[in-house]
Amino acid sequence: MNRGTVIEFHLEARSGVAPYLQLIHQVRQALRIGLLSEGDQLPTVKDVVGRLVINPNTVLKAYRELEYQGLVTARPGIGTFVTGTLGEGSLAALGPLRRELRRWLGKARRSGLDDESIEALFLTTFRTSAEDVEGTGRWAG
Amino acid sequence: MTAVLKAQGLGKRYRRRWALSDCTLDIPAGQVVGLVGPNGAGKTTLLHLAIGLLQPTTGQIEVLGDRPPANPAQLARVGFVAQNAPTYGGLTVAEHLRLGAHLNPGWDAVMARDRIERLGLEPRQRVGKLSVGQRAQLALTLAIAKKPELLILDEPVASLDPLARRDFLQGLMEAVVDQGISVVLSSHLVADLERVCDYLIVLVGSRVQIAGQVEHLLSTHHLLTGPRRDPARLPEDQHVISASHTDRQTTLTVRTEGPIHDPAWTVSKIDLEDLVLAYMSRPADAGRRPALEVQR
């Protein structure tokens, strides 16, 4: 079952997001895009601590929270393993959606929007539509 | 959780000058505690009181449940690395390890040797020939090989270059994972401590300005910007830590347990560095108020 660790964490120092939330986010992101799947091992606490030079409690807290969300399971003395899935059913839909988004981005650029405007447009639309479907599919954190 | 360090009204006076005044702390075990403050704030005095190198003028301090230095058994449970990581330049690395083994009943020779090997230090090398970073790593090895429950480090990374600093903190954090030790380390730079600490104590002008869990500190401090106004007219539960004004605008750092409702303010998060700076740049008399302890 153990295929070794497949992801490496990184931290954005000035993002204003608490480090343990950044770790959680990276695992969830990796699950969503299929980079992590069931049976994969997360880096050990000591690995993460050594690599990022952070407090071990930060890593433990992130792993505990992921366990609480039902995504990973800690096996004492061995490591923490992915046991849950996120949006697996929609994984197949990613390709077509990405293509559609690419087409849309092309259209936006041809209309003369620069990257900053595209991002702003996307984010504001994303937010308003997220408010419409409050609570569904939004990452709570 | 039991306290690794408890202080009640702790003070230390040198002749007429108070190096530490009215210090009250209660630090739970299993944490990495950062003690931050400008040079001369009293950090070393507090740490020396904790290991029993100094005796208090007023108040009390307890470390691992005893008044330091209670007895040899208690001393064995506390590791200490003094400022500039003192080592003996004329002795070799191996001789340092032998010395450590002689002086410490709980010495872990295997771990010490492993660590020296991993650091790439040559046992026959004279310590005087090592780099500053290597000497610091040796001092850390000596301190963790005695298997303390609490490790106290006075400005351990101040004299190190960025790479050596990272290596040192990495070694320290790995020791925390492996041995579950509690750590208190001081620095005049909060950036050194930001990622490695759970708990922070800000010491300025001989007084504890604030102490608490880093996460709690970050969630209870906010940066407010808005049209110019008198900070004295804020709600009672909002404590102003720092304030600056232009003709039209006011910028405040406030501490509050509750939410900020006033729509006139733009509320932003504050990072640990700005939070500490806000306390450091407070007028001297602000610290005269009783030190406050933020509990979880």
What pLDDT score does A5 carry?
A: 67
A54 domain residue, yes or no? yes
Together in a domain, A70 and A110:
no
Mean per-residue pLDDT over chain A, rounded: 84
Cα–Cα–Cα angle for A31, A34, A36, rounded to 5 degrees:
55
Together in a domain, A75 and A118:
no
User: Higher model confidence: residue B119 or residue B85?
Assistant: B119
Contacts of B174 in chain A (CB under 8 A): 46, 49-50
A64 domain residue, yes or no? yes
Coil vs helix vs strand at B171: helix
A13 domain residue, yes or no? no
A140 domain residue, yes or no? no
Owning domain of residue A26 = 19-82
What pLDDT score does A91 carry?
A: 67
A3 domain residue, yes or no? no
Together in a domain, A73 and A96:
no
pLDDT digits (tens, 9 = 90+) for A68-111: 999 999 998 889 999 988 876 666 777 888 889 999 999 999 99
Coil vs helix vs strand at B259: coil
CATH number for A49: 1.10.10.10
What pLDDT score does B27 carry?
A: 93
Together in a domain, A99 and A52:
no
Residue B215: both structure tokens together? 């996460």
Together in a domain, A27 and A57:
yes
User: Higher model confidence: residue B118 or residue B291?
Assistant: B118
Together in a domain, A78 and A24:
yes
pLDDT digits (tens, 9 = 90+) for B259-281: 888 888 989 888 899 999 999 98
DSSP chain A: ----B-------TTS-S-HHHHHHHHHHHHHHTTSS-TTPBPPPHHHHHHHHT--HHHHHHHHHHHHHTTSEEEETTTEEEE---SSGGGHHHHHHHHHHHHHHHHHHHHTT--HHHHHHHHHHHHHHHHHHTTTSSPPP-
How many structural domains does chain A have? 2
Together in a domain, A24 and A74:
yes
Distance CA B62, CA B66 (A): 5
Mean per-residue pLDDT over chain B, rounded: 89
Reported as a pLDDT band with limits 50, 70 and 90, residue A44 is: very high
Among residues A62, A82, A102, the one where a domain terminates is: A82
- Kindly state the percentage of chain B with pLDDT values over 70: 95
What pTM did the predictor assign?
A: 0.82
Domains annotated on chain B, with CATH: 3-205 (3.40.50.300), 215-293 (no CATH)
Contacts of A80 in chain B (CB under 8 A): none
Distance CA B165, CA B196 (A): 12
Coil vs helix vs strand at B215: helix
Together in a domain, A124 and A71:
no
Together in a domain, A23 and A64:
yes
pLDDT at B194 over 90: no
Distance CA B120, CA B286 (A): 49
pLDDT at A129 over 90: no
The gap from C-alpha B158 to its chain's centroid, in whole angstroms, comes to 13
Range name among A82-91, A123-132, B191-200 with the lowest pLDDT average: A82-91
How many CB atoms within 10 Å of residue B226?
A: 16
What pLDDT score does A140 carry?
A: 44
Residue B184: both structure tokens together? 């208190």
A49 domain residue, yes or no? yes
pLDDT digits (tens, 9 = 90+) for A3-20: 556 889 999 877 778 889
Together in a domain, A116 and A75:
no
Does B122 touch chain A if contact means CB atoms closer than 8 Å? no
A106 domain residue, yes or no? yes
- Per-window interface: A 16-55 vs B, CB < 8 A: 16, 18-19, 45-46, 49-50, 52-55
Q: By the 8 A CB rule, do B70 and B141 touch?
A: no
Together in a domain, A74 and A35:
yes
pLDDT at B1 over 90: no
Please judge whether A55 and B269 are an interchain contact, meaning their C-beta atoms are less than 8 angstroms apart: no
Please judge whether A53 and B170 are an interchain contact, meaning their C-beta atoms are less than 8 angstroms apart: yes
Together in a domain, A95 and A127:
yes
Amino acid at B19: A
